[in-house]
């Protein structure tokens, strides 16, 4: 029988294995488990995983995080420094388990079938904040079994059929569901109720644990009352009731800090935990003292109003001192938005939005427009004609505060019947590996494809980029590599718009030295749902600048200065809005370059600057720079 350590070794190997190369039509989960897990506890902010999971028998398990405790079953090397306590992120294992059970069937001829059942805490890529995920796993790996046949395996949580190949190998891995930060998906897995040592068989399980992972034992907990691992088919009919089991029973309730809101010299703190928990807001030196939180009986809700001195804290920490060890949850202190939405009503034609502000007007209604200052004591209200209202209205203040409110529909005609919309799923669902593809959690095939609506862009112009044809993309990340600095409407959108700023500006006081027409190179990297990024793809845009000329320029000292010329943008036939402007500099040899003035290009492409009596110094040459990127020099006649 495999110990926890042996199971872990096989896990590491199989997660990097490729398919077995056989036709796996019958490799599937045929009987699923309805026993399930029923609840997940608050996230422990010390390491970013839930404090506990609870099954239908009301058994709660927490992560077993003690490298020196053999009942946690860590392998040498699992914890970076085994001589120190586990801590996040520098000394934290890449994987840990709420429950891990294993069993092995020895097959005739030296073959075997290995079963792994677990509720696993892992990371999408590395031990990093924000990369945490939990999933339920069932895996069966078959080696040296009868070849080219279908085997039926039954275990405490269901039934699986596996096709073997010509070498007698087969495999099924099911993970439900490795979604980063979504810890409820594991509740839908085929794991649960938790398996534990059968108390009718000596010895008894160690106090506080489901069992000892280093010792085989009979178990209970199967919702099918089938606490065995068996195989039938291909001439085989074998079973065993021996399992290794690892799991630490949780006596902690955990704590979740729901919000901490600044209100003058007070912070309103809201938290949740189990009934009768002992929660406190931990004090901060020089700001406020440790403050116990209040609760109504049997609600699980906790509240404290904390008065501070000096600058407002940026974050607070709530600790459940009744947990052993104490659990904690930290949260940033948020500022009140300063705005309250009083109305978001759609009548089929107009969306009417009303709001009150304590920090001034106008207010911005996202995607719709603005709300102006109303009469004193009344909300600001405005109706926006729309065909498709948003589900939620968001109103923002100039200071950055915001509030949102769902839109209420008061009327309107029925929309013409069409195809039903497809509602996006909130998580990736079951991920099943039958041996013909990558194991869940491995790098998926992603390829970034970057394109643009036009190969060229003008100064002051915009062009839409397009990464929507990338394969395997769950997220997008655009980045400028070279060329004139551009603004990107959204560097995480599939189809963002870039804007190139104008070159010369009327407010310039000295000539620009940067090249105006260097090509712009933008890079795109896409990542799959596990956060694994692709190789970068690039799109390059040529920057079109106008061609400037000077002609008929002269300076009669003490009488008149006149400088004129033309601006032409190749291939452009439309009216340029705003009009092109030019900035003119005196470059007469023997003295510093100084600005003379500016001129606007008219609709015929001509521009002219005149000054009477003009500068009191003789100008013999000029440099002209355009807002569209053009640059030219010219001589100035003196008579």
Using H for helix, E for strand and C for coil, what is the string for 187-239?
Answer: HHCCCCCCCEECCCCCCCCCCCECCCCCCCECEECCCCCCCCEEEEECCEEEE
276 and 200 in a common domain: no
**Helix (H) or strand (E) segment spanning residue 564:** strand 560-568
* Residue 218 domain-assigned (yes or no): yes
Reported confidence tier of residue 8, pLDDT bands at 50, 70, 90: very low
Tell me what the mean pLDDT of segment 171-186 comes to. 93
Q: Which residues pair with 133 in a beta bridge?
A: 122
pLDDT at 89: 92
Cα 267 to Cα 289: distance, rounded to the nearest angstrom: 12
Cα 558 to Cα 402: distance, rounded to the nearest angstrom: 60
Percent of the chain with pLDDT over 90: 68
Reported confidence tier of residue 11, pLDDT bands at 50, 70, 90: very low
132 and 79 in a common domain: yes
Domain of residue 398, residue span: 339-409
Q: Copy the structure tokens of residue 202.
A: 């000596």
Asked if residue 443 has pLDDT above 60, the reply is: no
181 and 101 in a common domain: yes
pLDDT at 308: 96
Q: How many CA atoms lie within 13 A of 292 on its CB side?
A: 7
CA–CA distances in Å: residue 305 to residues 259, 271, 288, 289: 12, 12, 11, 12
pLDDT at 19: 34
Asked if residue 407 has pLDDT above 80, the reply is: yes
Cα 114 to Cα 240: distance, rounded to the nearest angstrom: 12
Q: 553-565 b/e with 16+ CB inside 10 Å = b?
A: bbbeeeeebbbbb
Q: Copy the structure tokens of residue 60.
A: 């709660």
Asked if residue 638 has pLDDT above 60, the reply is: yes
Closest CA relative to residue 625, chosen from 459, 484, 468, 428: 459
- Model pLDDT for residues 591-604, shown as the tens digit of each residue: 999 999 999 988 88
Domain boundary among 283, 312, 332: 332
Cα 431 to Cα 176: distance, rounded to the nearest angstrom: 6
pLDDT at 422: 66
Tell me what the mean pLDDT of segment 506-530 comes to. 90
Asked if residue 13 has pLDDT above 70, the reply is: no
Q: Give the rounded distance of the alpha carbon of 445 from its chain centre.
A: 19
pLDDT at 453: 85
- Model pLDDT for residues 409-427, shown as the tens digit of each residue: 999 888 887 766 767 767 7
CATH value at residue 328:
2.60.40
Tell me what the mean pLDDT of segment 378-389 comes to. 93
- Model pLDDT for residues 35-44, shown as the tens digit of each residue: 689 999 888 8
CATH value at residue 515:
2.60.40.10
561 and 533 in a common domain: no
185 and 113 in a common domain: yes
Burial of 280 (0-12, 13-18, 19+ CB in 10 A): buried
188 and 73 in a common domain: yes
157 and 10 in a common domain: yes
Asked if residue 253 has pLDDT above 90, the reply is: no
Asked if residue 228 has pLDDT above 90, the reply is: yes
Number of C-beta neighbours around residue 597 at 10 A: 15
- Model pLDDT for residues 113-127, shown as the tens digit of each residue: 999 999 999 999 999
Cα 102 to Cα 100: distance, rounded to the nearest angstrom: 7
Cα 388 to Cα 346: distance, rounded to the nearest angstrom: 10
* Residue 199 domain-assigned (yes or no): yes
Asked if residue 91 has pLDDT above 50, the reply is: yes
> What's the domain count of the chain?
5
Asked if residue 45 has pLDDT above 90, the reply is: no
Q: Which of the residue ranges 160-164, 289-293, 415-419 would you say has the lowest mean pLDDT?
A: 415-419
244 and 128 in a common domain: yes
Q: 290-310 b/e with 16+ CB inside 10 Å = b?
A: ebebebeeeeeebebebebee
Reported confidence tier of residue 12, pLDDT bands at 50, 70, 90: very low
With contact defined as beta carbons under 8 Å apart, do 269 and 306 qualify? yes
Task: Give the residue with greater pLDDT, 383 vs 571.
Answer: 383
pLDDT at 92: 95
pLDDT at 434: 67
* Residue 421 domain-assigned (yes or no): no
Asked if residue 186 has pLDDT above 60, the reply is: yes
* Mean pLDDT, rounded, of the chain: 89
Q: Find the radius of gyration of the CA atoms of the chain.
A: 35
Q: 171-182 b/e with 16+ CB inside 10 Å = b?
A: bbbbbbbbbbee
Burial of 231 (0-12, 13-18, 19+ CB in 10 A): buried
* Residue 486 domain-assigned (yes or no): yes
Asked if residue 109 has pLDDT above 80, the reply is: yes
70 and 45 in a common domain: yes
551 and 535 in a common domain: no
Reported confidence tier of residue 441, pLDDT bands at 50, 70, 90: very low
Tell me what the mean pLDDT of segment 363-375 comes to. 93
Tell me what the mean pLDDT of segment 77-95 comes to. 92
Q: Which of the residue ranges 53-57, 313-317, 393-397, 426-430 would you say has the lowest mean pLDDT?
A: 426-430
CA–CA distances in Å: residue 598 to residues 569, 575, 584, 623, 637: 19, 20, 6, 12, 19
- Model pLDDT for residues 574-596, shown as the tens digit of each residue: 778 888 999 999 999 999 999 99
Q: 133-157 b/e with 16+ CB inside 10 Å = b?
A: bbbbbbbbbbbbbbeebbbbbbbbb
The SS3 assignment for 570 reads coil
Domain boundary among 279, 313, 332: 332
Domain boundary among 295, 315, 332: 332
pLDDT at 18: 30
pLDDT at 5: 37
**What pairing do the DSSP bridges indicate for beta strands 392-396 and 363-365?**
antiparallel
Reported confidence tier of residue 450, pLDDT bands at 50, 70, 90: confident
Reported confidence tier of residue 6, pLDDT bands at 50, 70, 90: very low
* Residue 386 domain-assigned (yes or no): yes
Q: Cβ contacts of residue 242 below 8 Å, gap of 6+?
A: 1, 103, 216, 217, 218
Tell me what the mean pLDDT of segment 104-133 comes to. 95
* Residue 418 domain-assigned (yes or no): no
Asked if residue 278 has pLDDT above 50, the reply is: yes
Asked if residue 547 has pLDDT above 50, the reply is: yes
* Residue 425 domain-assigned (yes or no): no
pLDDT at 416: 80
Q: Which of the residue ranges 96-110, 405-419, 500-514 would you say has the lowest mean pLDDT?
A: 405-419
180 and 34 in a common domain: yes
Sheet containing 487-488: order of strands: 451-452, 462-466, 497-499, 487-488
Q: Copy the structure tokens of residue 413.
A: 């005609």
With contact defined as beta carbons under 8 Å apart, do 441 and 175 qualify? yes
* Residue 432 domain-assigned (yes or no): no
Q: Which residues pair with 555 in a beta bridge?
A: 561
294 and 244 in a common domain: no
pLDDT at 35: 66
pLDDT at 623: 95
């Amino acid at each position: 029988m495999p110990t926890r350590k042996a199971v872990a070794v096989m896990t590491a190997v199989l997660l990097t294995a490729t398919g077995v190369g056989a036709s796996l039509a019958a490799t599937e989960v045929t009987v699923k488990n309805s026993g399930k897990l029923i609840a997940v506890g608050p996230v422990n902010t010390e390491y970013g995983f839930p404090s506990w999971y609870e099954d239908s028998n009301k058994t709660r398990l927490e992560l077993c995080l003690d490298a020196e405790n053999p009942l946690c079953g860590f392998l040498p090397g699992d914890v970076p420094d085994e001589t120190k306590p586990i801590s996040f992120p520098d000394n934290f294992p890449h994987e840990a388990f709420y429950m891990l059970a294993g069993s092995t069937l020895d097959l005739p001829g030296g073959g075997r079938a290995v079963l792994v059942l677990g509720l696993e805490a892992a990371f999408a890529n590395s031990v990093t904040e924000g990369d945490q995920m939990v999933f339920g796993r069932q895996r069966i790996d078959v080696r040296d079994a009868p070849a080219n046949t279908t085997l039926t395996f039954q275990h405490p949580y269901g039934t699986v059929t596996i096709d073997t190949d010509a070498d007698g190998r087969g495999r099924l891995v099911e993970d439900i569901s490795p979604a980063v930060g979504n810890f409820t998906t594991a509740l839908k897995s085929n794991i649960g109720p938790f398996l534990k040592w059968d108390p009718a068989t000596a010895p008894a399980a160690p106090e506080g644990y489901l069992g000892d992972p280093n010792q085989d034992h009979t178990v209970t907990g199967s919702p099918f009352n089938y606490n065995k691992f068996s195989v039938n088919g291909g001439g085989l009919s074998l079973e065993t009731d021996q399992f290794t089991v690892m799991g630490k029973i949780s006596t902690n309730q955990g704590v979740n800090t729901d919000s901490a809101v600044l209100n003058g010299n007070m912070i309103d703190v809201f938290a949740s935990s189990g009934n009768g928990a002992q929660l406190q807001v931990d004090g901060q030196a020089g700001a406020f003292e440790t403050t116990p939180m209040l609760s109504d009986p049997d609600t699980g809700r906790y509240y404290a109003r904390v008065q501070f001195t000096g600058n407002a804290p940026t974050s607070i920490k709530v600790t459940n001192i009744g947990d052993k060890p104490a659990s904690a949850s930290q949260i940033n202190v948020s500022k009140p938005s300063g705005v309250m939405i009083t109305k978001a009503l759609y009548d089929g034609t107009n969306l009417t939005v009303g709001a009150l502000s304590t920090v001034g007007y106008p207010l911005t209604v996202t995607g719709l427009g603005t709300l102006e200052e109303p009469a004193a004591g009344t909300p600001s209200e405005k109706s926006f004609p729309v065909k498709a209202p948003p589900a939620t209205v968001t109103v923002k203040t100039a200071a950055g505060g915001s509030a949102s409110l769902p839109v209420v529909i008061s009327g309107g005609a029925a929309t013409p019947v069409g195809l039903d919309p497809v509602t996006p799923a909130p998580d990736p669902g079951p991920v099943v590996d039958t041996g013909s593809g990558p194991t869940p959690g491995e790098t998926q095939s992603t390829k970034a494809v970057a394109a643009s609506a036009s190969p060229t862009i003008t100064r002051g112009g915009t062009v839409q980029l397009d990464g929507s044809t990338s394969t395997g993309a769950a997220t997008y990340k655009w980045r400028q590599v070279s060329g004139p600095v551009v603004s990107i409407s959204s560097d995480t959108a599939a189809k963002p718009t870039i804007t190139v700023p104008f070159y010369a500006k009327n407010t310039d006081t000295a000539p620009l030295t940067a090249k105006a027409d260097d090509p712009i190179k933008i890079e795109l990297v896409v990542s799959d749902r596990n956060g694994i990024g692709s190789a970068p793809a690039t799109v390059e845009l040529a920057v079109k600048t106008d061609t400037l000329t000077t002609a008929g320029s002269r300076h009669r000292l003490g009488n008149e200065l006149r400088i004129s010329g033309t601006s032409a943008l190749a291939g452009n036939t439309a009216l340029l809005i705003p009009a092109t402007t030019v900035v003119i500099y005196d470059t007469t040899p023997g003295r510093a370059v100084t600005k003379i003035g500016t001129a606007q290009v008219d609709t015929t492409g001509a521009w002219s600057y005149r000054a009477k009596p003009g500068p009191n110094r003789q100008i013999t040459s000029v440099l002209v720079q355009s807002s569209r990127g053009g640059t030219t020099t010219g001589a100035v006649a003196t008579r």
